[in-house]
Structure 1
Amino acid sequence: MVSQRQSRQEGHRRKFLVIIDGTPENGRAIRYAAMRAKNSNGGLVFLYVIPEGEFQHWLGVEEIMQAEAMEEAEATLAKEAQAVRESIGVDPETVVRVGNTAEQIHALIDEDRDIAILALAAGNAKEGPGPLVSSIAGRGMGFAVPVTVIPAGLEDAEIDALC
């Protein structure tokens, strides 16, 4: 059972969750969530998931690979967070997890009861809308919060007008 949201209770604020995954469409989800957070006096959370199973080597090599993956995750999050602070004026929380992406999204939503909306962006590649959107839509993974999918092709001004 998923814990009840607290984002509307006194002392809490609604947070928008964005998965930082390096896909070309990721910037649209970031912009949408950041603008919604700014315009609603809400919060913004960036989640970077390091896939589990990448570290199946000898112990010394595994530790080095884990450290490198963590450094890459933290650097990516720092870069995206700085860009949002400078361009939109929102200071996001950043979270790094190791494991299955959908499971880590569920876990974070369950742990942080202020997260009220998951923002994803659809890609426009002929293969489909992107791996995360496809996995959620294709398997009907139910989240305890609404999932907003930003359509492919929206420009910044169009996203801003929606927020």
Structure 2
Amino acid sequence: MVSKRLSREAGHRRKFLAVVDETPESERAIAYAARRAQSTGGVVVLLFVIESGDFQHWLGVEQIMREEANATANAALNVHAATVRERVGIEPELVVREGSPTEEIHKLIEEDQDIAILVLAAGGAKEGPGPLVSAVAGKGAAFPIPVTVVPMSLSDEEIESLA
């Protein structure tokens, strides 16, 4: 069942969700989401998902690893947020979650009814388009909103002309 999106109602703005991760294509998705938000009067939401499987250690070590992962996530979000502010003049919303990326994306979309578009970027490597795009294309990963997949090879100028 598709949940009702609120982005078209009074007092709401359409949000473009981009996932921040360590993949090189992540930057292209963020650039496209920011330009689309700018051209439509929308908002950019940057999501960093810390995969929780990384913390299966002794309690003290687990806590330190979790804190380090949160610091890494916040640092990455802050770098991309600064770029969005600089290039398009939009203050992005920053979200850090812990868990499976596809599950956390689903949860955030359900929680924030203003999120109207998920923007992902396909990597150019011979191994495939990247883990998130592969998950979206796989069974059971369908999202309740449209997904835009941006080729990693697009330049800033091409993104600007398309967005």
- Following superposition, the deviation at residue 113 of structure 1 comes to 0.1
What residue number does 2:162 align with?
162
CA distance in 2, matches of 1:72, 1:51: 12
What residue number does 1:25 align with?
25
DSSP 3-state at the match of 1:161:
helix
DSSP 3-state at the match of 1:109:
helix
Q: How does 1:84-103 map to 2 (within 5 A)?
A: 84-103=84-103
DSSP 3-state at the match of 2:47:
strand
Contact preservation (8 Å) 1:2, 1:110? no
What residue number does 1:38 align with?
38
DSSP 3-state at the match of 1:53:
helix
What residue number does 1:126 align with?
126
- Following superposition, the deviation at residue 144 of structure 1 comes to 1.0
CA distance in 2, matches of 1:158, 1:74: 29
Amino acid in structure 2 at the alignment position of 1:142: A
- When the two chains are superposed, the root-mean-square deviation of aligned CA atoms in Å is 1.0
Q: TM-score, normalised by structure 1?
A: 0.97
In structure 2, runs of 5+ residues without a counterpart are: none
Instruction: Using the aligned pairs only, state the percent identity.
Output: 60
What residue number does 2:142 align with?
142
CA distance in 1, matches of 2:98, 2:30: 21
Q: TM-score, normalised by structure 2?
A: 0.97
In structure 1, runs of 5+ residues without a counterpart are: none
CA distance in 2, matches of 1:79, 1:55: 25
CA distance in 1, matches of 2:53, 2:66: 10
Question: Residue by residue, what CA displacement relative to the aligned partner does 1:134-159 show, whole Å, maximum 9, x if unpaired?
Answer: 11112252111100001231111001
Runs of 4+ in 1 over 6 A off after TM superposition: none
2:38 maps to 1:77:
no
